[in-house]
Amino acid sequence: MTTRSWWGWGNVEDAVTPEERRALVERVRAVLPDADLTFHSPPDPASLEVPESRIQPPGEIYSTDPVDRLAHARGQAYRDVTRNLAGDVGQLPDAVARPRTEQDVVDVLDWCGSNGVAVIPFGGGTSVVGGVEPRDLDRAVTMDLQRLDRVLEVDPTSRAARIQAGVLGPSLEAQLKPHDLTLRHFPQSFEFSTLGGWLATRAGGHYATLYTHVDDLTESLRVVTPQGISESRRLPGSGAGPSPDRLFLGSEGTLGVITEAWMRLQEPPAHRAGASVRFASWERAVEATRLIAQSGLYPANCRLLDPAEAFLNAGSAQAVLVLAFESADHPVDVKLARALELCGGGEVVEGAAQQWRKSFLRMPYQRDAMAQHGMITETFETACTWDRFPELHATVTEAATRALREMCGIGVVTCRFTHVYPDGPAPYYGIYAPGRWGGLTAQWDEIKAAVSEALIASGGTITHHHAVGRDHMPWYTRQRPDVFGAALSGAKAALDPQGLLNPGVLTPRPT
Ligand SMILES: Cc1cc2nc3c(=O)[nH]c(=O)nc-3n(C[C@H](O)[C@H](O)[C@H](O)COP(=O)(O)OP(=O)(O)OC[C@H]3O[C@@H](n4cnc5c(N)ncnc54)[C@H](O)[C@@H]3O)c2cc1C
């Protein structure tokens, strides 16, 4: 039996151990000897002043319990954690609804529509962009979908399954295992996020190439909207006009509640091969990664770590490329050998991949532990074409370094590629800086605004796989074409004429 942390990532039982914490603090002290690393405990949630619920919804699927509402008030970004640590309660949903059936979902939308109450669909609540926060809402119900958690049907011939949207990653995979099939979608937040959340945010899985975005694994969707149910046909492909699924994928709870999806499955991999390659120069490492991305080899892992990221998380002072291939059908050693040829000049190193994997799984817990010591440790991510990458990287690194100097005096910026495409990488940046206890959220917000400006100015996207939410809205509205924005508002008006669903996300709220 495990207990979810109310203020930070994951399970209380899996939080950093005292030894792990000591080692982290020592490592930071070695680099930042002047940082104030005083430890701060999270407040007792029972001691926090929680505003009264303003609504009285009907039936046993609703809860107005203060701790329940607190646990559904925000996501899992660094700024969510720092606000929780500071005891800053902010705005809470007035109730949490936990539908057991699709009819319950319809009933919640009906009741909220009749009473003018906003509805925020909630999967695992791992949003890092303010996607589940009832910010600036008069009254709101958060609809927690985790009771809709079954694999309902498996079609082994087409290798697909009909799955309820509220299922968490581990339960989904456990239900597919007896069929010897897997969705093979593993975002870093896999353990605590849901199928519906992945679909609504167009999540990116762990794999670097090919079928890693949940979009490509989706065969059809069933969505409850305030205007009725939309269910698309199960088809392997279709040229019949714009795709209904593409309208709802990435709609972030603003157009309807995804209740079920038919998802494309795969057999678990049986053949694997991997290696890590160290490069003396970052530019050479980027070039080798581009060649592999364009080679048609499609590695499962192709994670390039810059020297700072490699130093912190893979035990190397030089850039490291972690490569892996896998297949359910055929050996992959030949592919790995060809990829290594494309790394000409790089040196194969032992142990980096294992160390990277270990660090990767602990990162969210360590981020929160360091926040307790007043450190700013957060990430942001983007994607751009290869021709633009050198300039984007220089501009973003410069903007981040300047913002860190101004806000914290000092700090470190790291970069890795999470995904690579034939036409460009998805760079993922890490920020490590000593913050000021009491001002961590405001400091991070300034840094985030500076790097977001740099991303948009350099032709990148405001997000590659973290979604838009409320936090990215100022930059998203500049990134998407204006006429597309108008079309999206039109779709919103047609499906959700009262503007009940997740107001303030993706389309501006009517003034
Ligand atoms: C430590 C950490 C690591 C992460 N790693 C990754 C990663 O590797 N890849 C990645 O893509 N993201 C990652 N994320 C971000 C986050 O996990 C994803 O956005 C994820 O898809 C959210 O799923 P969720 O079930 O938690 O959804 P929530 O956070 O509950 O909701 C996210 C959005 O989807 C909407 N929504 C949720 N369920 C439904 C539904 N059934 N119908 C309609 N709308 C719905 C919500 O209203 C909200 O707008 C990470 C986050 C953290 C904190």
pLDDT digits (tens, 9 = 90+) for 251-266: 999 999 999 999 999 9
- Domain contains 473: no
Q: Best of 143, 201, 245 to mutate for ligand 1, by most ligand atoms within 8 A of CB?
A: 201
**One domain, residues 401 and 313:** no
Angle of CA points 269, 206, 361, to nearest 5°: 105
Q: What distance in angstroms lies between residue 201's CA and the mean position of ligand 1's atoms?
A: 6
Weakest mean pLDDT among 1-5, 161-165, 438-442, 454-458 = 1-5
Weakest mean pLDDT among 1-10, 90-99, 279-288, 423-432 = 1-10
Q: Is the separation of the CB atoms in 479 and 462 below 8 Å?
A: yes
Q: Which value does ipTM take for this structure?
A: 1.00
Q: Tell me if 76 CB under 6 Å of ligand 1.
A: yes
- Domain contains 311: yes
| Inter-axis angle of helices 440-457 and 389-408, nearest 10 | 160
pLDDT at residue 355, rounded to an integer: 87
- From the list 511, 491, 492, 487, the residue with the least C-alpha distance to 502 is 492
Q: pLDDT tens digit string along 433-449? A: 999 999 999 999 999 99
pLDDT at residue 478, rounded to an integer: 97
Q: What distance in angstroms lies between residue 94's CA and the mean position of ligand 1's atoms?
A: 21
Please check the confidence at residue 510 and state whether its pLDDT lies above 80. no
CA separation for the pair 145, 121 (Å, rounded): 7
Q: Best of 72, 127, 230 to mutate for ligand 1, by most ligand atoms within 8 A of CB?
A: 127
Query: What percent of the chain is predicted at pLDDT more than 70?
Result: 100
Q: Tell me if 189 CB under 6 Å of ligand 1.
A: yes
Q: Which atom of ligand 1 is nearest to the CA of 367?
A: 1
pLDDT at residue 95, rounded to an integer: 98
**One domain, residues 485 and 455:** no
Please check the confidence at residue 511 and state whether its pLDDT lies above 80. no
CA separation for the pair 339, 344 (Å, rounded): 9
Look at the chain and report how many structural domains it folds into. 3
Angle of CA points 308, 311, 315, to nearest 5°: 160
The sheet that has 140-144: what strands, in order across it? 62-63, 95-97, 140-144, 118-122
Burial of 455 (0-12, 13-18, 19+ CB in 10 A): buried
**One domain, residues 107 and 188:** yes
Q: What distance in angstroms lies between residue 382's CA and the mean position of ligand 1's atoms?
A: 17
Q: What distance in angstroms lies between residue 193's CA and the mean position of ligand 1's atoms?
A: 6
**One domain, residues 64 and 171:** yes
Q: Tell me if 203 CB under 6 Å of ligand 1.
A: yes
Q: What distance in angstroms lies between residue 197's CA and the mean position of ligand 1's atoms?
A: 4
pLDDT at residue 453, rounded to an integer: 98
**One domain, residues 394 and 345:** no
Q: pLDDT tens digit string along 58-107? A: 999 999 999 999 999 999 999 999 999 999 999 999 999 999 999 999 99
Read off the pLDDT band of 138 (50, 70, 90).
very high
Quickly count: other Cβ atoms within 10 Å of residue 52's Cβ. 8
Give the residue from 290, 325, 355 where a domain finishes. 355
The CATH number that applies at residue 283 is 3.30.70.3450
**One domain, residues 135 and 283:** no
**Residue 257 main-chain phi, psi, to 5 deg:** -105, 120
Domain that holds residue 298: 269-355
* Nearest CA residue ID for atom 7, ligand 1: 187
Read off the pLDDT band of 223 (50, 70, 90).
very high
Read off the pLDDT band of 360 (50, 70, 90).
confident
Q: What distance in angstroms lies between residue 203's CA and the mean position of ligand 1's atoms?
A: 7
Q: Tell me if 258 CB under 6 Å of ligand 1.
A: yes
Read off the pLDDT band of 325 (50, 70, 90).
very high
Q: Which residues contact 494 (CB under 8 A, 6 or more apart)?
A: 227
- Domain contains 363: no
Q: What distance in angstroms lies between residue 337's CA and the mean position of ligand 1's atoms?
A: 36
- Domain contains 360: no
Q: Tell me if 504 CB under 6 Å of ligand 1.
A: no
**One domain, residues 413 and 486:** no
Burial of 481 (0-12, 13-18, 19+ CB in 10 A): exposed
